[in-house]
Structure 1
Amino acid sequence: MTTSTTRTARAMTTEQRARFERDGYLVVPAALTDDEVERYSRALDRVYAQERAAGRVGADGSMHRLGAVAALPEAVHLTDHPSTFPLVWSVLGWNVHVYHSHLDVHPPIRVPKPYRFEWHQDGGRQNRELETEPRPRLSVKVAFWLSDVSVPGRGNFKVVPGSHLSNRIDGPPRRDIRWPEPPGAVEVTAEPGDAVFFDRRLWHTRTGNHSELTRKGVFIAYSHRWSHNRDENSALLASPAAVAFTPVQRQLLGAPLAAPGQSAGDHQWGHYPDTTPLHGYLAARGLLDPHHPPLRP
């Protein structure tokens, strides 16, 4: 991991884009500094203790808490982190928001769990209702690792490289029927502070944590702002904590952006780049991609 905090926003490189389009994911080494890992890990432990005390963790002690920033306001700095956010806007453009996020804590498995075939693509109903082959990308996700998953068996992210271009993989008629792993599946290994950036269509699963370490991570998913927002952030955006949020962070958390005379609905479709903070941020730095032009009313 690194302890440097000096970073400059740069678009995805040609090499990164080629690997991402080929494999469906990228590992970003040392995305977080040692200090950031320690700070976010402590904050996540605090949320976990609160959820556990309230009886909102699984029987196995696991936590899957939706609305990462609402539960952990410090996580707002992960939404536009300079080590990972350029990958997001390089792929999806400037008209984006965080539509889904979660905090995950998975202690070591002490009691064997029933078998369940958990391979999936993100997006839920999108994968039932979109008709094209392959289905459109629609969203991307970043996993920030706060625990050591540098060897298999620690609840690693497991993927089939290149499977984002396949609408289906071979699977059982029911998830409780034992079935062979998909050909080519690999466990992604990562040090604390590493991040994994992936296409939502990538076939993946979370493996069991059979180590002595607790698996901890923060997951941030981005889509175009005309996609429905699963996170409920209205109370967060009205709270004192939001005073310190940057305009780009407010955009990502779903804050209303339409100025007087602008239609809120048309704003979500990208008609008004002048009042979209990320558009202004990228334009000021010469980083706008002509492949992501605004729509005009």
Structure 2
Amino acid sequence: MSFADIVPMTADQRETFERDGFLVIPGVLSSREVSRYESAVDGVYAEREAAGRLGADKSLHQLSAVASCPELAGLVNHPRVFGLVTSMLGWNCHVYHSHFDIHPPIREPKPFRFEWHQDGGRQNREIETDPRPRLSVKLAFWLSDVSEPGRGNFKVVKGSHETNRIDGPPRRDIEWPDPEGAMEVCANPGDAVFFDRRIWHARSNNYSDIVRKGVFFGYTPRWITVRDEAVSAEVAAGLTPVQRQLLSALDEGRVNDPVEGGDHAWGHFPDEVPLYGFLRERGLLDSSIPALIP
């Protein structure tokens, strides 16, 4: 499968996603891809370690994945899973937040901290509906073996994306049990997890002998602001038009128009949005999905 192809979400996947709030997609990355992307993030880790910029536990939570590690650009529209994003958000979307994480094994128990949360920050305080709107989805690509619990696994409460709050302690450092129904999602290297940003989630502590490694991309409509740092002009020059859209590196159309600038991201001009043309050429503008209608 090439980047000229994507596979849209199936009816069964949509039913599962709407019910559970997440999907596990096995075998997204080949062993060669896993090795290539792992080598790329390991290189950044080595640079940060040499500069003394790791966490106290030697972990790395590196924001702006592609700006920090341009070799990861191929993941933003990976053909085996990007169709899940377009099936949920349509053609007028971009990556607003991304990161890659490396967590070495923990040799001593960590102080307790209640880490359960929904993505989006103040969206979860300032939007008044119940449940709050989806607004964004996220893809996690696993580069390490988290096929057993306790390896820094993605933890979720299945179906909690339609719940605005869960019980928690008055302070994060007060010991508190996991929410009812909490589970660790197990995955092999090369698997991906696609999830609704509203699902209540956390990360298990990595008490294994395996270094936990994953790359995460959050997608949202282009009328929501970007948290990531911009990619350099040199990196942008090597991207496809769709990748430039996803990484907010477009410089054509009305994006720079002195009169109509800004409307480009609002989606008023579909023919100027690369992902719209990409989906149209492949007959993937499913009119039953509002976000795909021009």
- Show structure 1 runs of 5+ residues with no match: none
Whole-angstrom CA distance in 2 between matches of 1:257 and 1:199:
30
Whole-angstrom CA distance in 2 between matches of 1:112 and 1:149:
19
Whole-angstrom CA distance in 1 between matches of 2:205 and 2:213:
13
SS at structure 1 position matched to 2:262: helix
1:45 aligns with 2:39: no
Whole-angstrom CA distance in 2 between matches of 1:74 and 1:99:
18
Report the CA distance between 1:5 and its aligned residue.
6.9
SS at structure 2 position matched to 1:223: strand
Q: 1:242 aligns to what? A: 236
Q: Which amino acid aligns with 1:287?
A: L
Q: 1:173 aligns to what? A: 170
1:255 aligns with 2:254: no
Q: Note the 1:256-295 alignment, pairs <5 A.
A: 256-259=250-253, 263-290=260-287, 291-292=290-291
Q: Which amino acid aligns with 1:161?
A: K
Whole-angstrom CA distance in 1 between matches of 2:147 and 2:292:
40
| 1:72-106 deviations in Å (ceiling 9; x for gaps) | 10111000000111000100110000000001000
1:220 alignment partner, one of 194, 199, 217: 217
Q: 1:30 aligns to what? A: 27
Distance change (3 Å), C-alpha of 1:9 and 1:227 = same
Q: 2:196 aligns to what? A: 199
Whole-angstrom CA distance in 2 between matches of 1:198 and 1:34:
23
Distance change (3 Å), C-alpha of 1:294 and 1:237 = farther
Q: Note the 1:70-81 alignment, pairs <5 A.
A: 70-81=67-78
* Conservation of the 8 A alpha-carbon contact between 1:7 and 1:83: no
* Conservation of the 8 A alpha-carbon contact between 2:67 and 2:232: no
* Conservation of the 8 A alpha-carbon contact between 2:3 and 2:78: no
* Conservation of the 8 A alpha-carbon contact between 2:7 and 2:81: no
Distance change (3 Å), C-alpha of 1:7 and 1:95 = closer
Q: Which amino acid aligns with 1:284?
A: E
* Conservation of the 8 A alpha-carbon contact between 1:272 and 1:294: no
Q: Which amino acid aligns with 2:114?
A: F
* Conservation of the 8 A alpha-carbon contact between 2:91 and 2:292: no
Q: 2:125 aligns to what? A: 128
* Conservation of the 8 A alpha-carbon contact between 1:5 and 1:33: no
Q: Which amino acid aligns with 1:238?
A: A
Whole-angstrom CA distance in 2 between matches of 1:130 and 1:206:
25
Whole-angstrom CA distance in 1 between matches of 2:54 and 2:209:
19
Q: TM-score, normalised by structure 1?
A: 0.94
SS at structure 2 position matched to 1:292: helix
| 1:168-190 deviations in Å (ceiling 9; x for gaps) | 01111111111121111110000
Q: 2:113 aligns to what? A: 116
Q: Which amino acid aligns with 1:106?
A: H
* Conservation of the 8 A alpha-carbon contact between 2:285 and 2:293: no
Q: Which amino acid aligns with 1:17?
A: R
* Conservation of the 8 A alpha-carbon contact between 1:273 and 1:294: no
Whole-angstrom CA distance in 2 between matches of 1:289 and 1:267:
22
How many residue pairs match? The answer is 289
1:92 aligns with 2:89: yes
* Conservation of the 8 A alpha-carbon contact between 1:257 and 1:275: no
Give the CA RMSD over aligned residues: 1.6
| 1:2-22 deviations in Å (ceiling 9; x for gaps) | xx8799412100000000000
Q: TM-score, normalised by structure 2?
A: 0.95
SS at structure 2 position matched to 1:208: coil
| 1:139-159 deviations in Å (ceiling 9; x for gaps) | 000010000000001010000
Whole-angstrom CA distance in 2 between matches of 1:270 and 1:243:
23
Q: Which amino acid aligns with 1:246?
A: T
> After TM superposition, which residue ranges in structure 1, 4 or more long, deviate above 6 angstroms?
4-7
Whole-angstrom CA distance in 2 between matches of 1:188 and 1:99:
24
Report the CA distance between 1:71 and its aligned residue.
1.0
Report the CA distance between 1:258 and its aligned residue.
4.9
